[in-house]
Amino acid sequence: MQKQQVTLSDVAKKAGVAKSTASMVLNNRARKGTVRISDQTIERVRKVAHEMGYFVGLTARAKAGSRTSIIGLIMYSISPTGSQLQMIEGITEVFRKEKVTLAMGMVTRDNLELELEEIHIMAQKGFDGLILEPSTGLLNMLDANPELIPNPDRVVILNRPPIAGLPAAWTNEEECGFIAAQHLLDQGHQNIAVLGDQYTFLSSKFDAHRTQVQRFWGFQKALQAHGLSAMRARCLEDVFDLDGVTGVFCGLGPQATELLGACLDRDIRVPEDLSIVGYNNSIEKNQVRPKITTIDKKASKLGQQAAKMILEARDGKRPEDVILTPGLIVRESTRQVYPPRVRL
């Protein structure tokens, strides 16, 4: 038999107070303005509510004009080797200090319909704000239909450039690719490959919201400055079919460790035979042997910045966009092959 839901009236009756008094206590308005409710009454109402299992719903708090202190988070993907877990860590670090609760929505996995549904559900729940890592499909749609985002003044875009007038926190992805290529050039490599997927090598603005496309543009830009062009590998097998390749940039998070394992299976030594540069400083890149040189997109800091921005938006301010400059972490998977080329 389903348990009957406890109402605010039930709590007020058992505590021996008016419903309005119970509402002010449970919505943290018992000492605001001219309201004066005794400590004994506040304690009694809260105790009764706890014993009866009463919870103040988000919608009720919003109607009462009280801050919910709950921020929603929607991500298009989460993987053990991706940057999302680090971004979540950064977000929670800020929220923990500010006594803010993080409500995680469904991981949408490029399902545009689910993505829009999750966004509207969080808006209906009366959350204080929303941090959104949108899919490429949603970004493309928002270009033409910015009104798809309800309450845009309470939304911050994460890990993507600004779109539809929404503030954003992101890392310069073109710079990620540029730094990776420059490191291999500085190590003397000339036959340099980039490992991506079918979208990586697009040369026009079509689908330019894809971060791996931006990384490829930056990678190619660095090589072109030295009169070179990137060798292209769409999958791991393609790398081993490239003639004379000595250095590879893996443009997606898990690819560097996957390539390292494939090299081991083929008795290809890293970095003696092949230098590998990874993307994103996830933990496994420092655990495998050799340790992997990688581009640090500073994902945890990115999450921290987004968290600070959404708290500003919650307080009625228009946060400034934040763009982070990536860094290079040199480890054991790259080496100098001969005197490095002079930078132009």
pLDDT tens string for the chain (344 positions)?
Answer: 344 668 889 999 999 999 999 988 887 777 666 677 898 999 999 899 878 877 665 555 555 555 558 999 999 888 877 899 999 999 999 999 998 999 999 999 889 999 999 998 888 777 889 999 999 889 888 888 888 898 899 999 999 999 889 999 999 999 999 999 999 999 999 999 999 987 788 765 546 678 889 999 999 999 999 999 999 999 999 999 999 999 999 998 899 999 999 999 999 999 999 999 999 999 999 999 999 999 999 999 999 999 999 999 988 899 999 999 999 999 999 999 976 544 44
3-state class of 307 per DSSP? Answer: helix
User: Which CA distances in Å does 342 have to 128, 226, 333, 338?
Assistant: 52, 9, 22, 12
Say what the pLDDT of residue 344 is: 40
Can the peptide bond before residue 339 be classed as cis, meaning omega within 30 degrees of 0? no
Say what the pLDDT of residue 2 is: 41
Task: Report the residue count for the chain.
Answer: 344
The reply to whether domains 8-63 and 70-171+299-325 share a CATH topology is no
Say what the pLDDT of residue 178 is: 98
Say what the pLDDT of residue 308 is: 98
**Residue 238: exposure state from Cβ atoms within 10 A (0-12, 13-18, ≥19):** middle
* Domain coordinates in residue numbering, the chain: 8-63, 70-171+299-325, 173-297
Say what the pLDDT of residue 6 is: 80
How many of the other CB atoms lie within 10 Å of CB of 302? 23
> Check: CATH 1.10.260 for 8-63?
yes
> What is 73-90 written as a DSSP string?
EEES---TTSSHHHHHHH
Say what the pLDDT of residue 69 is: 81
Q: Using alpha carbons only, how large is the chain's radius of gyration in Å?
A: 26
Smallest Cα–Cα separation from 263: which of 195, 232, 271? Answer: 271
User: What residues are paired with 103 via a beta bridge?
Assistant: 72
Say what the pLDDT of residue 110 is: 83
> Check: CATH 3.30.70.270 for 70-171+299-325?
no
Superfamily of segment(s) 173-297: Response regulator (3.40.50.2300)
Distance CA 60, CA 56 (A): 7
Say what the pLDDT of residue 343 is: 44
Element containing residue 304 per DSSP (H, E): helix 299-314
Distance CA 171, CA 302 (A): 7
Two structure tokens written together for 8 = 């605010």
Say what the pLDDT of residue 210 is: 82
